[in-house]
Chain A
Amino acid sequence: MNKAIEIENVNKSYGDVRALEDVNLTIEQGEFFGLLGPNGAGKSTLIGVLGGLVNKDSGQVTVLGNDVVQNYRKTKKSLGIVPQEVVFDPYFNVRETLEIQSGYFGVKDNGERIDEVLDALGLKYKEDTNIRGLSGGMKRRLLIAKALVHDPDIIVLDEPTAGVDVELRKSLWDYVIKLNEQGKTIILTTHYLEEAEQLCDRIAILNKGRVVAVDQKEELIKRIDKKVIEVKLQHKPNNIEELFPTAANIEWTDTNKLKLETTRGNVISLLDKIQNSSLEIVDIDVNSAKLEDVFMKLTSLGGEENE
């Protein structure tokens, strides 16, 4: 089976800015893939290369086995890209926009599919509204709808939930998960790391144009050896710093919680110590590292660990 996306040694510079530097990535069909990175990491540039919005300087990119330069008509057909910037064609209403869009991708009489997408995105009641008359969040929903009307095999969402309200965010994710279960490949960029952590199977982290990590989500998180113990207490103990010398980053919160950071290997012994102390314990929680911890480590200054 062809890979959904294969990116080999792709480079792109804007003047002195190296937006993409020797990027290599392979995405399998049917994956829910996260493309993460701080502002300016090169995510949108990479998506632009996929969709034919950006001319790369070197390297090769294929979509379902077809080259995005030589075979651009095929690759564009199998992609549904939601651009990051909200753009709109001011002459048409919502439904007309989606009809034109379907036609562009070679689909005629697409009413049923358009209805489905409008429903899923909560835009049905605005179908006769001119785009100028949509709120910002609705314009973004339309942007998503446009990418989906031709039922593409690979759906690329460049920060689809920026400016979208909580309710729609939830229904959008339900719909995208459904599409993924039907076998569609999903590529998502987002700055909401919790969303990515919940949704994605595999994640690539970009920093300054380079891929600094690609792995299964769980594996990525495992790289951070960190456990956070939260102990809710009746009273604030004195000298909290001295109580547990093996713990790091000891903190007392307003909600009467003592927060202790430790490593996986030390978590049991630390819990023992807490139990055997004279503290009046109300509740105990143990949390593992989060995607955010990995993200911070790989993208913050000095954390330039390369794979």
Chain B
Amino acid sequence: MSDLITFYSLVKREIWRFSKVAIQTVFAPLISTSLYLIIFSYSFRSREVAEYGIDYIKFIVPGLIMMSLIQNSFANTSSSLIVAKYQGSIVDLLLAPFSYMQLTLGLMIGGIARGLVVGLAIYLIATFFYSGAVYSVGLFILFSFLISGIFSLFGIIAGLWAEKFDHISIFSNFFITPLTFLSGVFYSVKNLPGIWSKVSLFNPVFYMIDMARYAFVGISDAKLSLSITIVGTLFIVLFFLTTYLFKIGYKIKD
């Protein structure tokens, strides 16, 4: 029982933290994504994505939702940790009786929570731009959890590794942003000229966006089972890696 309270308190703290600074953590990302929606729906009015036979706006909505999910989950765990390291309050986590797996799970759920809040809000905004229909709500929710879980874990790893705030931006500017933009959020990778279409297949974010789009519109570039395998494996590997880093106290214990 007291073990549950311990764990629950960490989750609560993580969610409480980003709620207290919701202007930066929730509303700011909503504005930028809403701008994408406005611009794309205006510029590509009545344009269709040929491979999918659907409106362009419907094509990019799942991608935009996933992009915000990815960015916000990552931002949540990485900034929670880097601030804790910077202010020294990381000792609170070290002195408290958390198991290493609880630390991983607790921080991860905080990141997922923020990702889902922002993702849901974007979906609601998107319903102003298209019908709001979703092919499989269950799968979409499941994939959202999985993908924001992965980037929450990435955020934890980045937060542990980083020694200052700049290091976090290295992570997001040099890895996350390019991988997301090149993953087919805004286009079908089938449209890319030969070699680039192949290169995309090495980008794990491509499979995430692709499987989310499948759940949204029922069509995908890659085989769903392949995407699930790749993304699921990545999640499991990152989960245990993160737990291991907590166990050895990577860059947080002397």
Indicate the size class of the contact surface on chain A: 35 or more
Asked whether A105 lies within 8 Å of B17 as measured between CB atoms, the reply is no
Asked whether B95 lies within 8 Å of A76 as measured between CB atoms, the reply is yes
Residue B218, interface by CB 8 Å:
no
Asked whether A100 lies within 8 Å of B97 as measured between CB atoms, the reply is no
Asked whether B12 lies within 8 Å of A105 as measured between CB atoms, the reply is no
- Encode B1-20 as 1/0 by CB contact (under 8 A) with A: 11101101110110011001
Residue B179, interface by CB 8 Å:
no
Asked whether B97 lies within 8 Å of A73 as measured between CB atoms, the reply is yes
Which residue, A55, A96, A100, has most C-beta atoms of chain B within 10 A? Answer: A100
Asked whether A106 lies within 8 Å of B253 as measured between CB atoms, the reply is no
Asked whether A53 lies within 8 Å of B98 as measured between CB atoms, the reply is no
Asked whether A105 lies within 8 Å of B96 as measured between CB atoms, the reply is yes
Which residue, A73, A85, A96, has most C-beta atoms of chain B within 10 A? Answer: A73
A95→B20 CA distance, assembly (Å): 15
Q: At the interface with chain A, which of B31-39, B83-91, B197-205?
A: B83-91
Selected from B6, B17, B94, the residue in CB contact (under 8 A) with A91 is B17
Asked whether B87 lies within 8 Å of A90 as measured between CB atoms, the reply is yes
- Which chain A residues in 84-131 approach chain B with CB under 8 Å? 85-92, 96, 100-108
Residue B132, interface by CB 8 Å:
no
Selected from A48, A85, A106, the residue in CB contact (under 8 A) with B6 is A106
Asked whether B16 lies within 8 Å of A91 as measured between CB atoms, the reply is yes
Asked whether B6 lies within 8 Å of A89 as measured between CB atoms, the reply is no
The size of the chain B interface, using a CB distance under 8 A, is 32
Nearest-Cβ distance from residue B10 to partner chain A, whole angstroms? 7
Asked whether A101 lies within 8 Å of B92 as measured between CB atoms, the reply is yes
| Given A103-B6, A103-B9, residue A85 in contact with residue B254 (CB < 8 A) | no
Asked whether A53 lies within 8 Å of B94 as measured between CB atoms, the reply is yes
Asked whether B96 lies within 8 Å of A104 as measured between CB atoms, the reply is yes
Which residue, A79, A91, A102, has most C-beta atoms of chain B within 10 A? Answer: A91
A91→B25 CA distance, assembly (Å): 13
Nearest-Cβ distance from residue A271 to partner chain B, whole angstroms? 54
Asked whether A54 lies within 8 Å of B97 as measured between CB atoms, the reply is no
28 pairs of residues in contact across A and B, judged by CB atoms under 8 Å:
A48-B254, A53-B94, A53-B95, A54-B253, A54-B254, A73-B97, A73-B98, A76-B96, A76-B97, A79-B95, A83-B95, A86-B88, A87-B92, A88-B89, A89-B84, A89-B87, A89-B89, A89-B92, A91-B16, A91-B17, A100-B12, A101-B92, A103-B8, A103-B9, A104-B9, A104-B10, A104-B92, A105-B96
Kindly list 19 other residue pairs between chains A and B, CB separation below 8 angstroms, not including A51-B95, A103-B12: A51-B94, A52-B94, A53-B91, A55-B249, A55-B253, A73-B97, A88-B87, A90-B87, A90-B89, A91-B16, A96-B16, A100-B12, A104-B92, A104-B96, A105-B6, A105-B96, A106-B5, A106-B6, A146-B92
